Amino acid sequence: MDTTLPINDISDVIEADRNHLWHHLLQHKSLETNDPRVIVEGKGMRVWDATGKEHLDAVSGGVWTVNVGYGRESIADAVRDQLVKMNYFANSAGSIPGSRFAKRLIEKMPGMSRVYYSNSGSEANEKVFKMVRQIAHRHHGGRKHKILFRERDYHGTTITALSAGGQPQRAAQYGPYTPGFVEVPHCLEYRNQYPDAADYGIAAANAIEDVILREGPDTVGAICLEPITAGGGVITPPQGYWERVQEICAKYDILIHIDEVVCGVGRTGEWFGYQHYGVKPDFVTMAKGVASGYAAISCTVTTEAVFDMFKDDAADPMGYFRDISTFGGCAAGPAAALENMVIIENEGLLANTNAMGARLMDNLYALQDKHRVIGDVRGKGLFVGAELVSDRTTKEPVDEKMVQAVVADCMAQGVIIGATNRSLPGLNNTLCLSPALIATPDDIDQITASIDRALTAVFS
Ligand SMILES: Cc1ncc(COP(=O)(O)O)c(C=O)c1O
């Protein structure tokens, strides 16, 4: 079957790209001799590039974003209808889709209460950092201003989000960093730092308590954690971890901020990743899957108790949250997010995510039996990673170039997969898969068949 798309000549686009675009996360030297990749069309799970070649997208737009798949006319219609009626007003006033989406979102998040809109994951996280700092100033005499983050987690690209990031290769050369952010150890059992401990999950959580005690509990206001670490290697938490983390946070009066920028809105088979683990957060941030990339939107969601801390003294002119995000007032975001949520519900995409996620894991376990280079397979729902090692006993990571060769081989086969990229020195060795939540059994099998062929080609 010919899977190519007939397209018009767009050599002008290629030239304009080569001459004027600065792509994200790309060393551009290669574009002096190769054409840049331009994606021109998408439908369902598939995208077509400027040469007309079809690809099965196993990473939802490259960075786990297009949760409901490409070409959704109902989202485009909802956005268009909203834009011609009312496109923008600063969010100091309300909007019809903004209020409606907030209500629908909170229905999915028992215990949470308030939604603050902005337009990227980094920015949503910055809002929490500012809230925590302001709570420290207003309620703790300036103490409790420190924010803990975890080794291997990522919370965004701005200088402060990088200061809260546990991925040294993302942060390197961009310092000096924002003070007051303190790292706690990772919780990847495959790379157990506490081999003598009876229970890895408890030991990994107790390591957080050690940091709190070292810093002084009265200086620590919050901890920011991904429910499942994404770009740091798809790290699912070990048994018992979250229960113990919550005990520790309660003991020292530390607010819990869950970064759901990747896991949120169905990716893991629940509406939110933290809901698998019985976590009761104070803050939840989300972005990518909220509107599946059909519009830019991010949300910082808080409890009513947090919200109350910003309206307890109406006489204090400095006491409320003095923050604005201009494009947090764009009505296209919540209009797209509302329709995105309707699609997930109407098409039963949480159930599909669980079923297809199980199939993806099973297929990868089968590949692990066949290819010794797969050291570990981890994931939840349609959010899965396979860590590649050159030796299963020592767990020596394979050379990053080999990981990239696997990704390139899949690409040549017409399947787009991902890999940890410039996150941890020597540990960019995990293949990452996050197909849209609409994936079918055939799609899943096609993805893993392509990885099978790529591993054979690169490592045999
Ligand atoms: C867990 C996590 N948090 C935050 C961000 C930052 O989101 P954005 O790129 O929208 O600023 C990312 C981006 O990949 C992420 O993976």
Q: Are 374 and 262 in contact (CB under 8 A)?
A: no
Q: Cα of 49 to ligand 1 centre, how many Å?
A: 25
How high is the pLDDT of residue 19? 93
The CB of 60 under 6 Å from ligand 1? The reply is: no
The CB of 122 under 6 Å from ligand 1? The reply is: yes
Q: Cα of 35 to ligand 1 centre, how many Å?
A: 28
pLDDT lower than 50: segments of the chain: none
Dist CA 344 CA 352 (whole Å): 10
Phi-psi region at 321: left, alpha or beta (left = phi > 0; alpha = psi -120 to 50): beta
CB-CB neighbours of 4 under 10 Å: 11
Q: Output the CA torsion sign for 79, 66, 106, 325.
A: negative
- Is 167 inside a domain boundary? yes
Dist CA 285 CA 452 (whole Å): 36
342 and 371 both lie in a single domain? no
How high is the pLDDT of residue 11? 87
> Residue 103, Cα to own-chain centre: how many angstroms?
23
How high is the pLDDT of residue 7? 61
Pocket test residue of 60, 152, 261, 262 for ligand 1, highest count of atoms within 8 A of CB: 261
Q: Cα of 267 to ligand 1 centre, how many Å?
A: 14
How high is the pLDDT of residue 194? 98
322 and 397 both lie in a single domain? no
284 and 151 both lie in a single domain? yes
- Is 200 inside a domain boundary? yes
- Is 3 inside a domain boundary? no
- Is 281 inside a domain boundary? yes
End of a domain among 298, 326, 346? Answer: 346
Dist CA 227 CA 61 (whole Å): 21
423 and 354 both lie in a single domain? yes
179 and 218 both lie in a single domain? yes
- Is 244 inside a domain boundary? yes
Domain containing 23: what range? 11-68+348-459
87 and 215 both lie in a single domain? yes
The CB of 451 under 6 Å from ligand 1? The reply is: no
152 and 288 both lie in a single domain? yes
296 and 208 both lie in a single domain? yes
Tokens matching residue 50: 């400027």
- Is 99 inside a domain boundary? yes
Tokens matching residue 64: 């786990």
Cα-based distances in Å from 210 to 168, 186, 193, 203, 204: 22, 13, 14, 10, 10
- Is 60 inside a domain boundary? yes
The CB of 383 under 6 Å from ligand 1? The reply is: no
How high is the pLDDT of residue 9? 77
Q: What is the pTM of this model?
A: 0.97
223 and 328 both lie in a single domain? yes
The CB of 155 under 6 Å from ligand 1? The reply is: yes
304 and 195 both lie in a single domain? yes
End of a domain among 330, 346, 362? Answer: 346
What is the domain-level CATH number for residue 307?
3.40.640.10
Question: To which H or E segment does residue 355 belong?
Answer: helix 349-370
377 and 406 both lie in a single domain? yes
Total domains, the chain: 2
End of a domain among 346, 370, 394? Answer: 346
What is the domain-level CATH number for residue 379?
3.90.1150.10
98 residue type, one letter: G
178 and 115 both lie in a single domain? yes
- Is 147 inside a domain boundary? yes
Q: Are 155 and 149 in contact (CB under 8 A)?
A: yes
